[in-house]
Amino acid sequence: MLLLRFLPAFVMAMGLLACGQSSGPSVTTPAQAPAPVAPPVAKKEIGLVMKTLTNPFFVEMEKGARRAEKDFGLTLKVKTAAQETSIEQQIQLVDDLVADKVAAIVIAPGDSQRLVAALKKAIDAGIKVVNIDNRLDQAAVAQAGLKPIAFVSVDNEAGAYKAGKFLAEGIVTPTQAGMLEGIRSADNAQQRARGATRALLENQHITIVASESANWKIDEGYAATKAMFEKFPDIKLLFAANDMMAIGAAKYLQESGKTQVKLAGFDALREAIIEIKAGTIAATIDQQAAEQGYQGIALANRLIQGDVVPEVTLIDTRLITQATAL
């Protein structure tokens, strides 16, 4: 009974206390602050400097580089000169990338010597450099005080030897041959000329009567072939150090009715494969342009991370003829 007597008073007191609390200032418990979000990690920038995009070979090279860009989470800045002979423009592109402070430069130099000074500036600025396609002159690199620069390409001499050997097959009577060289100051042009020359001259029946530079271009390939055949109309074998020149040569040979001339190129461009299937070009060399682009970016990525990379990475070449063209 005593408990029941005091219960109403207790309930009233608790009610007054509650009213007093509600009439006072409200207190808000602060919500827990969200954890700070780390800023996104900036992707490393790599500059890809090529000779031109007017040659399908370098279009394929860029495709391979773009695949590496995606695989390794990089940002690729592609720079190309107007023509394969635009060496001063390539030098300026390298200088621009140095000013942009890219992490690395991957370059297919149009000239094996003249790009060395610009690339030294890049290396002195802490930028990693990878050389693809056409090798920088090793003596010029050493003279500039640089260590050997990582290089990705094919054995150009061995590839051209395959093409020359194919041209020489079955020749058992005295036969004249001609050659269309690339830019003569380019290491890959020199190697291809050596390889094709060696293969042709291994056949005692073959004489090389003319060798002209057509600077890797279709129109110059046409003009050089025309001039060559006006002087040596009995040429039966012709090696062109790239497919662009071979396509120009094939055009002249078809127009002039010299369809029995056996012609080989180098690069395995889609346009050259079409000519091989049609029988106007006999062979070409596949040097896997896309793979060169991919491996160049892959090596640059490793250098950025502080890895030691091979001084030379060679990619296989493959002879393509009408029997093997896909």
Whether 35 maps to a domain, the answer reads no
Whether 22 maps to a domain, the answer reads no
Does 127 share its domain with 171? no
The whole-chain average pLDDT of the chain stands at 90
Does 168 share its domain with 237? yes
Whether 7 maps to a domain, the answer reads no
Whether 168 maps to a domain, the answer reads yes
Does 124 share its domain with 173? no
Q: Residue 301's domain is classified under what CATH number?
A: 3.40.50.2300
d(CA 256, CA 248): 13
The model's pLDDT over 257-300, given as tens digits with 9 standing for 90+, comes to 999 999 999 999 999 999 999 999 999 999 999 999 999 999 99
Does 64 share its domain with 149? yes
Does 213 share its domain with 245? yes
Whether 6 maps to a domain, the answer reads no
What pLDDT score does 13 carry?
42
Which residue range forms the structural domain that includes residue 95?
45-155+289-315
Whether 270 maps to a domain, the answer reads yes
Does 73 share its domain with 130? yes
Does 252 share its domain with 188? yes
Does 187 share its domain with 118? no
pLDDT at residue 16 is higher than 90: no
Give the total number of structural domains in the chain.
Answer: 2
The predicted model scores a pTM of 0.81
Does 204 share its domain with 306? no
Residue 34's pLDDT band (boundaries 50, 70, 90)? Answer: low
Q: Do the Cβ atoms of 48 and 65 come closer than 8 Å?
A: yes
Residue 326's pLDDT band (boundaries 50, 70, 90)? Answer: confident
Whether 39 maps to a domain, the answer reads no
